[in-house]
Amino acid sequence: MTNAVHSFDVPGRSLIEQVTSKLRNAIMHGELRPGQKLIEADLSRTLGVSRASLREALRALEVEKLISIVPNRGPSVAKVDYHDIEAIHDVWALLTGDAVVDFTRRAGAHDIAELEGLLDALKRAIEVNAPLDQLAATNRFLAVIVEKHGNGVLAEVVAALVSRINFLRAQALLREGWGVVHAREIESILTAIKTRNPEVARNETRKHIASACAAAKHLALGPELVSLADRQHGKRWAQDVEDGPQATAA
């Protein structure tokens, strides 16, 4: 985060929005690490903005679950532990798996065309090595499925859950080869939807989320700690990917 205030000149976006975006990108790319304490004076000076503007941006990121603000202790980058990661992905897989079954049965040509467009956007982002664009396309792909379910509370719950692990997912997409695997999984979900096979769509969705969970645990704790934690749970982290929906549903 070396660019100062003169870089905040995106038309149609307020200064607060641009500061929020810059901090969000720094978290997603790992420049600001989970658990890292954020010194407002230092950030304000680095970004070239007032403390008031910085605090507005930090509050926005707190809503997104990317920042934790503790009274009398100040802001820090949010972190999730091993059990949080598993719990979030388990609930995400359960809710989205049910939603995709409903979507597969009800989706019209327009809905499928929207998913096809998002898959194309995902592939373009992979080609230009833009992990945040990959994440945005994937999030929107899955959001379209959940929103079609017609349950606004469900959509809000899923969005809130996913926001807590977005920074880990973005980090995973920075790893060589992961984007291609990621796109292949999303394409398998779309194929099942287009062929009107709801159970296959559910299984492919759970497989994708299990894969994301394995990557998140790997990045959050490191391979050594993940292996130890998984042995305590009677499984290996890599097996989550191999087992797919069975691992997620366990």
CATH assignment of 5-77, given 1.10.10.10, 3.40.30.10, 3.20.20.70, 1.20.1600.10? 1.10.10.10
- Of 96, 93, 100, 90, the residue nearest 199 (C-alpha): 100
- Give the per-residue pLDDT at 231: 41
Domain 82-249: CATH superfamily is GntR ligand-binding domain-like (1.20.120.530)
**First CA to last CA across the chain, in angstroms?**
41
Backbone angles phi, psi at 72, to 5 degrees: 70, 0
Spans of all domains in the chain: 5-77, 82-249
Contacts of 124 by beta carbon, 8 Å cutoff, 6+ apart: 133
Query: How crowded is residue 180: how many other Cβ atoms within 10 Å of its Cβ?
Result: 11
Q: Distance (Å, rounded) from C-alpha 226 to C-alpha 83?
A: 11
Instruction: Check: CB of residue 47 under 8 Å from CB of residue 57.
Output: no
| Residue 201 parent element (H or E) | helix 198-232
Instruction: Check: CB of residue 160 under 8 Å from CB of residue 214.
Output: no
Contacts of 16 by beta carbon, 8 Å cutoff, 6+ apart: 53, 56, 57, 60
Query: How crowded is residue 33: how many other Cβ atoms within 10 Å of its Cβ?
Result: 12
Q: Distance (Å, rounded) from C-alpha 194 to C-alpha 190?
A: 6
Half-sphere exposure of 216 (CA within 13 A, CB side): 28
Please list the ranges in the chain whose pLDDT falls under 70. Answer: 1-12, 221-250
Structure tokens at 222: 């490191």
Q: Distance (Å, rounded) from C-alpha 132 to C-alpha 130?
A: 6
Does pTM top 0.85 for this prediction?
Answer: no
